[in-house]
Amino acid sequence: MAGVKVEKICSALGVKKVIRAMPNLPAQIGMGMTAFTSSHDITRIELVTVQNLLNTTGKTIYVESEELIDAATAISGSGPAYVYYFMNAMIDAAQKMGFSESQAELLVGQTFMGSVHLQNRNELSCADWIAKVASRGGTTEAALKTFSDHDLHMKIKDGTNSAHQRAVELGKRG
């Protein structure tokens, strides 16, 4: 129900209390990210109860501005597909370099998982981690230069902005 607003849900169901949430796929294994908001009639106790329930699927954030649900749809709702897209490109590259499919999947999967866990256990920014990995004149710097030359950072932002605009458009229908 991407884009379906709280007010529309309240009206369609004839109720005053509605929680609107945008979970993502990793919620299936308790590692999800869910942004949620509510109608004005929801009490603080009800919000805490709902957040505790949603926390069983991973992490949650409550947003007062319903527009941020559309933004969360673009970032965390669609985000797993972006991660898989990048992983798939790395797996394809690894196979072209000579690794078997299972070896390539292991190399890439463990690299992503380890990197995310390391990021979550420290206060360093992504830019700080990049600087720690990329030595001057080294292999990582060569890859990052190619990414930069092709403006990959902006292309990723453009893609997420396209997802956000689509979520907003879906909310304007009906």
Mean pLDDT, residues 122-130: 94
> Is the domain of 12 the same as that of 73?
yes
Instruction: Quick: pLDDT tens for 111-120.
Output: 999 999 999 9
* pLDDT at position 1 over 70: no
> Is the domain of 10 the same as that of 31?
yes
> Is the domain of 102 the same as that of 152?
yes
For residue 171, what pLDDT is reported? Answer: 81
DSSP result, 8-74: HHHHHHT-S--EEEE--GGGGGT-EEEEEEE-TT--HHHHHHHHHHHGGGEEEEE-SSTHHHHHHII
Residues in contact with 56: Cβ distance below 8 Å, sequence separation at least 6, in sequence order: 30
Domain of 41, in residue numbers: 6-77
Q: What confidence category does residue 2 fall into, taking pLDDT thresholds of 50, 70 and 90?
A: confident
- Total domains in the chain come to 2
For residue 170, what pLDDT is reported? Answer: 87
Q: What confidence category does residue 174 fall into, taking pLDDT thresholds of 50, 70 and 90?
A: low
| HSE value, Cβ hemisphere, 13 Å, CA-based, for 77 | 20
> Is the domain of 60 the same as that of 132?
no
Instruction: Quick: pLDDT tens for 18-45.
Output: 999 999 999 999 999 999 999 999 999 9
Instruction: Quick: pLDDT tens for 51-77.
Output: 999 999 999 999 999 999 999 999 999
Q: Say if residues 7 and 69 touch (Cβ distance below 8 Å).
A: no
**Residue that is last in its domain, among 77, 103, 135:** 77
Instruction: Quick: pLDDT tens for 133-163.
Output: 999 999 999 999 999 999 999 999 999 999 9
Q: What pTM does this model have?
A: 0.89
> Is the domain of 23 the same as that of 87?
no
Residues in contact with 105: Cβ distance below 8 Å, sequence separation at least 6, in sequence order: 91
For residue 4, what pLDDT is reported? Answer: 83
- How much of the chain, in percent, has pLDDT values that exceed 90? 91
Q: Say if residues 35 and 4 touch (Cβ distance below 8 Å).
A: no
Residue 90 lies in a domain: yes
> Is the domain of 85 the same as that of 155?
yes
The CATH number linked to 66 is: 3.40.50.720
> Is the domain of 25 the same as that of 44?
yes
> Is the domain of 59 the same as that of 101?
no
Q: Say if residues 20 and 9 touch (Cβ distance below 8 Å).
A: yes
Residue 171 lies in a domain: no
Residue with tokens 């190399």: 107
For residue 109, what pLDDT is reported? Answer: 97
